[in-house]
Structure 1
Amino acid sequence: MLAQFNFPTTILFGTEALGVFGGRVAERHGNGPMLLVTDEGLVRAGIADRVRRVLEAAGVKVELFAEVHPNPVEADVVAGARRYRDTGCTGIVGLGGGSPLDAAKVVAVLATHEGSLLDFDAMRGGDARITSALAPVYAIPTTAGTGSEVGRSAVVIAEATKRKTIVFHPTLMPRIAVLAPELTVGLPPHLTAATGFDALTHAVEAYLSVGYHPMADAIALGAIELVVAHLPTAVADGADLEARGHMLVAATMGATAFQKGLGVVHSLAHPLSTRYGTHHGLANALLLPGALAWQLAHERASFTDDLLARYRRIARILDPGASADDLPRLLADFRRRVGITETLAETGATHDDVPALADEAYDDPCHRENPITLSRDDLAAIYRSLLDATG
């Protein structure tokens, strides 16, 4: 057996992290310039200007690129790569939630390689086409969910297919991640809950996924414990820096853990974002309890003793006396506790959409690391069961 473990990103954490960051960039890039990849919301909120001032105070010039949309599309990253080249930038700072951070990584690829987004699609062998040194990426998350600040992949919707395209390469990992709790206090409760459930789903799926990675397993369990302990507080009191800080750490831990793998929930969630614009974290929240419940109900014979023990261990973080079978209900209860009450039907999905959704989900690679092997028909059945659910 061979297993390989990698955890290389430098992480700066705390209320002083952002202030230190400018000097770290100056040490590596001199006066730059750096391309600051973000979105208009963070420009309006003044957060982009705050980061710009930190960099400029350290002598680093900044070029602002704020044309990233939620669920970023190919045109966003093509424009960003063009701006990077035209302005002679030497590195990229991604600022925001998962969309700007993922966009920053793909800009790093397109700015240094010829080709379209699909040329670098990991499912088409695109990682082998990433042969030149990439533009260095630095990441400053303003949500606690995706963990893209420590990830080796990025997801952008391709123009030709209208589907999420995964770009993967070990050198896509940001050089430095800045976890500054104060940058997340303005996130409203519902987005705090949705992004927090994204972090939770990463950790749950990583812990349950196939493969041998004891470090990832331990990190995933730690992330689950942090989310369960601190997400309700972060939702109820967005100014609580302690809760916000714990959630940033949980998100980073969840993404570190999922280098082991994810699972069927992510495959089911991705089409909801491309088709209906559903926030990725919300999609995960709507799917996670039901997808686990469906597998327990319909694939129980495929559950190993180890998998049942893993379900039980997660369940007991939520309720010390719980069994493996309690896990879906406990996750649904926790979802309601943080204020997520929507149903799958409220995304706009219908029973008529299920065949196309199942096709897209089955083509998504995440479910290949699910502990239970599921067919296209199984994925369709999970969608249908959740569309019939009332909450």
Structure 2
Amino acid sequence: MAFMTYLPTLTLFGVGSLNNLHTQRIPGKKALVVISNGKSTKTNGSLDKTLEELKTAEVESVVFDKVQANPTKVIVEEGAQIARENGCDFIVALGGGSCIDASKAIALLTSNEGDLWDYVATGSGGKKQAPNNPLPIIAIPTTAGTGSEADPAGVITNEKNEKLGVGDLRLFPAIAIIDPELMKSVPPKFTAYQGFDAFFHSAEGYIGKRANLMSDMVGETAMKNVGKYLERAVKDGSDMEAREHMAFASYLSGIEMVVGSTSSQHSLEHALSAYHQDIPHGAGLIMLSKAYFTYWINKHVCDERFVKMAQLIGMENASKAEDFIVALDKLMKACGVSDLKMSDYGVVPDEFEKMAENAIYTMPGQFAVGYTEMTKDDCVAIYKQAYV
């Protein structure tokens, strides 16, 4: 039942909440506004609106627009250099989880010397505590999936194909603006990828041995919202009720990672997309999910929790653990993502050994969440079962 709660972020939630940014206590005078290398924030008006809000608050800004999906250490280093050169004293992260994750790493590296990996606690990281406080962060998510606006870590990939968390309690955003209106232009397939990412954050924690009273409350609510509203959001992006509930589910799943934990499914996906950067994180999780959760169902370590999850996503008469896979597959089909194939992204079975080794080496903490030990051979078997 034990848990630790520390959620220092001021959160503004709801349609139109970005309009209130200028009324908040802004944590600096010059912002590095971090966006993706795509066009969405520029074409849908969210960047202009954010810059207008900052200007109204008498804040200067510099835009850094090079963050890609699955952000890399090289891009983070470039962002930190630009922040230093321009005298930026806080970060505004405007975009999906990749932008917010990259912003956290940029915030840490801007105010601390050395290599970013000096401050990474696993894999080949230097396991050092950053001596100086990171720059403050304002997180403005434009997708509903990662919940990065609610946690103190960002996932970055280095040149060794290590996709790892850069974490520090000082990296909780100072302010999070969760405005579902910014999410209505997200295309259907990415809405689905992101929604399942939010779901798996909570599902993984729910079947792990770090589950507790707080994580159960948060996770169950998140999964119930995904089960009820994700299909609607995928089929009609302008359905603001569905967008609001999915933004709420994403936010809660970010909190779940603070009061609970993700598990080795995330480790397996990080290794997958570390070698194939064009795989969206949520898509990778979807491709692995049925094989991964079937592995744990066959262990019979928490059958009643799988039954509960099936009920949460719409299978009210679920009575056995295997029903969860049926309910999960039904939701995937409804959202149009049941036919994703690793082979479409260039993945080949010969890679599974090195991916399994990578997953275990880089993210051992997620493996420790399981009720029983998961070996390298188990990981390879899951990759094989998930592969098409």
Normalised to the residue count of structure 2, the TM-score between the two structures is 0.93
- The offset of 1:126, in angstroms, is 4.8
CA–CA distance in 2 between the matches of 1:310 and 1:242? 28
- Which amino acid in 2 is paired with 1:69? Q
Cα displacement string for residues 348-367 of structure 1 (whole angstroms, at most 9, x for unaligned residues): 22221111111112223222
Match of residue 201 from structure 2? 202
Answer yes or no: is 1:338 the counterpart of 2:335: yes
Determine if the alignment matches structure 1 residue 321 to structure 2 residue 322.
Answer: no
Matches within 5 A, 1:1-80: 3-26=3-26, 28-29=27-28, 32-40=29-37, 41=39, 42-80=41-79
Structure with more contact order per residue of length (Cα contacts < 8 Å, sep ≥ 6): 2
- Per the alignment, residue 346 of structure 2 pairs with 348
Alpha-carbon shift at residue 15 of structure 1 (Å): 2.0
Residues in 2 aligned to 1:3 and 1:339: alpha-carbon distance in whole angstroms: 37
For the 8 Å contact 1:271–1:360, the answer to whether it is kept is yes
Task: For residue 72 of structure 1, give the secondary structure of its aligned residue in structure 2.
Answer: coil
The structure whose residues are more often helix, as a share, is 1
C-alpha separation between the residues in 1 aligned to 2:131 and 2:212? 28
Distance 2:194 2:88 in 1: 31
Please list the CA deviations of residues 94-133 of structure 1 after superposition, one character each: whole Å capped at 9, or x if unmatched. 0101111001000011001111121111216756421211
**Distance of 1:313 and 1:330 partners within structure 2:** 11
Pair 1:308-2:303 in alignment: yes
> How far, CA to CA, are the matches of 1:10 and 1:367 in structure 2?
32
For 1:253 and 1:46, the matched residues in 2 are separated by 26
1:287 paired residue number: 288
Q: Which amino acid letter does the alignment assign opposite residue 185 of structure 2?
A: G
Paired residues of 1:210 and 1:261 also in contact (CA < 8 A): no
Name the amino acid aligned to 2:292: A
In 1: Cα distance, 2:115 partner to 2:283 partner = 30
Unaligned runs of 5+ in 1: none
- Which string of whole-angstrom CA distances, capped at 9 and with x for unpartnered residues, describes residues 109-158 of structure 1? 10011111211112167564212111001100011001111111111111
- Check whether the contact 1:203–1:257 (CA below 8 A) recurs between aligned residues: yes
Aligned partner of 1:146 in structure 2 is 146
* Whole-Å separation in 1 of the counterparts to 2:246 and 2:371: 27
Alignment partner, residue 262 of structure 1: 262
Q: Which moved more, 1:38-47 or 1:261-270?
A: 38-47
Alignment of 1:111-190 (within 5 A): 111-123=110-122, 126=126, 128-159=128-159, 161-190=160-189
Instruction: Quote the offset at 1:4 in angstroms.
Output: 2.0
The corresponding residue for 2:279 is 278
Aligned-residue offset at 1:288: 1.4
| Aligned counterparts of 1:21 and 1:126: Cα–Cα separation in 2 | 37
Compute the displacement of 1:165 (Å).
2.5
Matches within 5 A, 1:228-243: 228-243=227-242
Give, in whole Å, the separation in 1 of the partners of 2:43 and 2:303: 47
1:34-77 per-residue CA deviation (whole Å, 9 max, x = no partner) reads 11011132234432122111111221111111111111111111
- Distance (Å, rounded) in 1 between the aligned partners of 2:340 and 2:42: 30
Q: Which amino acid aligns with 1:209?
A: G
Tell me whether 148-157 or 189-198 shows the greater mean CA deviation: 148-157
Identity, in percent, stands at 31
Distance 1:384 1:236 in 2: 31
Partners of 1:212 and 1:165 in 2: CA distance: 22
Where 1:245 maps in the other structure, the secondary structure is helix
Give the 3 Å change call, closer, same or farther, for CA 364–370 of structure 1 in structure 2.
Answer: farther
Q: CA deviation at 1:309?
A: 1.6
Distance 1:53 1:186, change over 3 A: same
Give me the whole-angstrom Cα distance separating, in 2, the residues matched to 1:122 and 1:101: 19
Structure 1 residue 7, shift from structure 2 partner = 2.2
Counting matched residue pairs gives: 378
Q: Once superposed, which parts of structure 1, at least 4 consecutive aligned residues long, lie more than 3 Å away?
A: 124-128
Moved more, 78-87 or 227-236: 78-87
| Letter in structure 2 aligned against 1:258 | M
